[in-house]
Amino acid sequence: MRPLACERCAAEVLVRKSSWQQTSVQWTARATAACAERDAAGGTSGPGGTGGTEGAFEGCRSLRDTIREAALRGRIEVVDPAGPGPGHDTDADADAGSLPGHRA
């Protein structure tokens, strides 16, 4: 996993892009606190979060875009680039981190 800062709010997470369809994001407490979209959603999910769907954080679009651009520009490696390319990126890249340490 490699550190990557969101271009919108500078929240720094750890990212691994296994393929164009799969991304892992590990959120730190600092990144969770810094994420503008998480703050705007008014809640978090996972340990210490709301526990329900009301206020649950579904993911950060800005971080998803940052990860995609970083992969396209070679700033983060796509470990297995075989298969559909970036035009067919169907994973929710940064639904990036509903849970700290879980899949993006």
Q: How far is CA 101 from CA 32, 33, 48, 87, in A?
A: 11, 15, 14, 26
Domain spans of the chain?
2-88
Q: What is the pLDDT of residues 20-37, one digit of tens each?
A: 999 999 999 999 999 999
Task: Judge if pTM exceeds 0.75.
Answer: no
Contact 17, 69 (CB under 8 A): no
Q: What is the pLDDT of residues 67-99, one digit of tens each?
A: 999 999 999 999 998 866 676 544 444 444 444
What counts of helices (H) and strands (E) characterise the chain?
Answer: 3, 3
